[in-house]
Amino acid sequence: MRTKPAAVVVYGATGHTGRFVVAELRRRGFATVLSGRDAARLEALAAERADVDADVEADVVVRPATVDDPASLDRALAGAAAVVNCAGPFALTAGPLVEAALRAGIPYVDVAAEIEANAAMFADYAQAARRAGTPVLPAMAFYGGLGDLLVTALLGERTTADVVHVAYGLSSWHPTPGTREAGAVSHRRRAGRRVRFADGALRYHDDPVARQDWHFPQPLGRRAVIAEFTMADVVTVPSHLAVPEVRTYMSVEAAGDLAGQDTPAPEPVDALGRSDQTFVVDVLVDAGGVERRATARGRDIYAVTAPLVVEAVERILDGRTRTAGVASAGAMFDAADFLRALAPHVSVDLPH
């Protein structure tokens, strides 16, 4: 194994997704800086990792920081190779963290699923990140990142499509407290309105929720979905592809879980801490009258974000990127090659 660079900072390390990201970084031998607001929880996680990672030579250290204290963020990022932001709501954390990353001159990666936070990243930081030549990668997660990679791989050398469909077939969705908090922030920012990507722009509306059937690949088969259950793909995909319409869908069961106030948080059922929730992401692209389809299957939408994030960090630090500045996963990486690298965490079917 090659020598690893300086440490990767994980802000929000003690959160549900943050812990998966830390574990994956450690599995790959990265030195890791645990950061966030709660020093006691960070120290407890560091002690836990020390027991688990006895055979990992790279260090793990703790550097508490808060997003309302830029100096504390600068100290947390000092000497680091990259920072991963796992702390939502990203409407509150993304700006301060990416500004700290730009001051430090290091790549920034986050796992934001919030549509407006991702749109703001492209709108507010594109010029500064491009001028600095620093990679800034938002939504490098199950929502936003995975769908964008699938769409990009389907299109190959093409950069245009007529319409993109991304359907999420989740067996269940037990939201974390962070997911609920981020959703509440987005709901307030939209004044309760819904959002779609049509005619080349995000458009807010009060249309009623609609259902339809989606024919997922077997064994999932025909399932009822919520149409226009809009996710971060409506920001990532059109950020680099000329697509006037991006539609996303969610299985009715998962949407109901998310809406339910009594739905419990995910419960671990294996040694890796994953829940028993499974997923199928089914992507259909219509380009020039030709339909192409790709599918990804896996387990636990939160846990699978970790290999997505860490693979991205590793490729950025290795120089295996196609652009700098603010970019989505599909723009920054060789999408098909990236998807192949996700095995065994994600099983991907691409057309030959």
Q: Per-residue pLDDT tens for 33-92?
A: 999 999 999 999 999 998 888 888 789 999 999 999 999 999 999 999 999 999 999 999
Identify which of 319, 345, 346 has the alpha carbon closest to the alpha carbon of residue 333. Answer: 319
Q: Are residues 278 and 161 in the same domain?
A: yes
Query: What is the predicted pLDDT for the residue at 173?
Result: 97
Average the pLDDT over 80-109 and give the result.
97
Q: Are residues 137 and 177 in the same domain?
A: no
Q: Are residues 326 and 258 in the same domain?
A: no
Average the pLDDT over 318-347 and give the result.
97
> Does the pLDDT value for residue 277 go beyond 80?
yes
Query: What is the predicted pLDDT for the residue at 3?
Result: 54
Query: What is the predicted pLDDT for the residue at 1?
Result: 41
Q: Are residues 311 and 262 in the same domain?
A: no
Within a domain: residue 351?
Answer: no
3-state helix vs strand vs coil in the chain, percent to 5:
40, 25, 40
Q: Are the C-beta atoms of 17 and 306 separated by less than 8 Å?
A: yes
Within a domain: residue 342?
Answer: no
> Does the pLDDT value for residue 5 go beyond 90?
no
Within a domain: residue 350?
Answer: no
Query: What is the predicted pLDDT for the residue at 53?
Result: 85
Query: What is the predicted pLDDT for the residue at 2?
Result: 45
Average the pLDDT over 336-343 and give the result.
97
Query: What is the predicted pLDDT for the residue at 138?
Result: 98
Q: What is the pLDDT of residues 164-210, one digit of tens each?
A: 999 999 999 999 999 999 999 998 989 889 999 999 999 999 999 99
Q: What is the pLDDT of residues 122-132, one digit of tens each?
A: 999 999 999 99
Q: Are residues 295 and 153 in the same domain?
A: yes
**d(C-alpha 66, C-alpha 97), whole Å:** 10
Q: Please count the other Cβ atoms lying within 10 Å of the Cβ belonging to residue 177.
A: 11
Q: Which of 255, 275, 301 is the last residue of a domain?
A: 301
Within a domain: residue 1?
Answer: no
| 158 three-class SS | coil
The residue range of the domain holding 62 is: 8-142+305-335
Within a domain: residue 344?
Answer: no
Q: Are residues 62 and 195 in the same domain?
A: no
Q: Are residues 127 and 164 in the same domain?
A: no
Q: Are residues 297 and 311 in the same domain?
A: no
Half-sphere exposure of 274 (CA within 13 A, CB side): 16
Identify which of 349, 337, 199 has the alpha carbon closest to the alpha carbon of residue 284. Answer: 349
> Does the pLDDT value for residue 110 go beyond 50?
yes
Q: Percent of the chain, pLDDT > 70?
A: 99
Q: Which of 285, 301, 317 is the last residue of a domain?
A: 301
Query: What is the predicted pLDDT for the residue at 350?
Result: 94
Within a domain: residue 346?
Answer: no
Query: What is the predicted pLDDT for the residue at 55?
Result: 81
Average the pLDDT over 132-160 and give the result.
97
Q: Are residues 180 and 285 in the same domain?
A: yes
Average the pLDDT over 104-125 and give the result.
97
Q: Are residues 232 and 327 in the same domain?
A: no
Q: What is the pLDDT of residues 216-240, one digit of tens each?
A: 998 789 999 999 999 999 999 999 9
Q: Are residues 105 and 162 in the same domain?
A: no
Identify which of 6, 133, 131 has the alpha carbon closest to the alpha carbon of residue 77. Answer: 6
Higher pLDDT, 261 or 2: 261
Q: Which two tokens stand for residue 102?
A: 């730009």
> Does the pLDDT value for residue 4 go beyond 80?
no
At 88, which CATH number?
A: 3.40.50.720
**d(C-alpha 164, C-alpha 286), whole Å:** 6
Within a domain: residue 282?
Answer: yes
Q: Which two tokens stand for residue 32?
A: 């890791």
Within a domain: residue 175?
Answer: yes
Total domain count for the chain?
2
At 162, which CATH number?
A: 3.30.360.10
Q: Are residues 221 and 191 in the same domain?
A: yes
> Does the pLDDT value for residue 6 go beyond 90?
no
